[in-house]
């Protein structure tokens, strides 16, 4: 009985943490094996288990229901964090769409999605920056704080989570536009210039020249956007930490 009382909190906490790690970046990337995610979940649960308690007179049904509750909490918080960090990939997809790279979509087995080269490249850069800047520690810290606001077996407020998800979607598009904004403006001006050139010299097929021109602009000025990514990733990590706290408050 004593062993069961000691194991149940760790197992429930490991379930919440593991589901979170499967969904939330940077751990959700398929380059991180499932075994590693499971080991991280159990290890983090053991580190947090000293402050976790469950009632002594739990039945098997109670444990199953608490397990489902922990899975829902971990999944909800993981989706919230994933939406916030999707801003980096969204910025890359804006550049793919306006720069003509969207025509060369390819399947990415790491994210199980199709996208242009800039979207995939920015996603990989964002994952690397999360580890290099220790942003993942803020994400894990927010998850650890969720056990104080939502003890084992407590249900997540779905209304608060829905509000946070709606805010995360708007922040995702806003951050994506802020990251890719300078280059988007240059690409728009290039389109305007091609249109004016067509009006001045109709015989010149300016739009045929527009695709290689915009690709050249993307490749040459893309460093401007890359220079802003470290600060953006740090800002997104803070948003994820605050979002977890507000969703569990």
More reliable by pLDDT, 175 or 74: 74
In DSSP notation, 44-105 reads HHHHHGGG----TT--HHHHHHHHHHHHHHHHHHHHHHHHHHHHHHHHHHHHHHHHTGGGG-
67-96 pLDDT per residue, tens: 888 888 888 888 888 888 888 888 888 888
Is residue 56 over pLDDT 70?
no
How many Å apart are CA 68 and CA 48, to the nearest integer?
Answer: 19
With a cut of 60, say whether residue 4 has pLDDT above it.
Answer: no
User: Tens of pLDDT along 191-224?
Assistant: 788 778 777 777 777 667 777 787 788 877 777 7
Residue 150 DSSP label: S
| DSSP SS3 for 136 | helix
Average pLDDT over residues 150-170: 78
Q: What is the CA 185 to chain-centroid distance, rounded? A: 25
Residue 208: what pLDDT? 72
| Higher pLDDT among residues 52 and 10, named by residue | 10
Q: Where does the pLDDT of residue 153 fall: very low under 50, low under 70, confident under 90, or very high at 90 and above?
A: confident
The pTM of this model reads 0.81
């Amino acid at each position: 009985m004593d062993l069961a009382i000691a194991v149940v909190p760790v197992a429930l906490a490991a379930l919440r943490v593991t589901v979170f790690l499967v969904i939330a970046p940077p751990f959700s990337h398929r380059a991180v094996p499932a075994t590693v995610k499971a080991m991280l979940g159990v290890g983090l649960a053991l580190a947090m288990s000293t402050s976790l308690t469950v009632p002594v007179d739990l039945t098997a049904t109670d444990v199953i229901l608490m397990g489902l509750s922990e899975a829902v909490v971990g999944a909800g918080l993981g989706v919230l964090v994933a939406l916030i960090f999707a801003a980096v990939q969204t910025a890359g997809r804006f550049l793919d769409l306006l720069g003509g790279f969207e025509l060369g979509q390819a399947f990415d087995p790491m994210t199980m999605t199709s996208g242009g080269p800039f979207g995939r490249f920015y996603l990989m850069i964002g994952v690397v920056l999360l580890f290099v800047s220790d942003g993942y520690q803020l994400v894990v810290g927010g998850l650890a704080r969720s056990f104080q606001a939502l003890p084992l077996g407590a249900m997540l407020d779905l209304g608060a989570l829905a509000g946070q998800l709606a805010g995360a979607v708007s922040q995702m598009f806003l951050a994506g536009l802020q990251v890719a904004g300078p280059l988007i403006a240059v690409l728009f001006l290039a389109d305007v210039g091609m249109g004016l050139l067509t009006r001045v010299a109709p015989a010149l097929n300016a739009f045929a020249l527009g695709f290689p021109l915009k690709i050249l602009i993307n490749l040459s000025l893309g460093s401007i956007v890359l220079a802003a990514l470290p600060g953006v990733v740090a800002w997104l990590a803070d948003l994820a930490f605050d979002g977890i706290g507000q969703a569990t408050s």
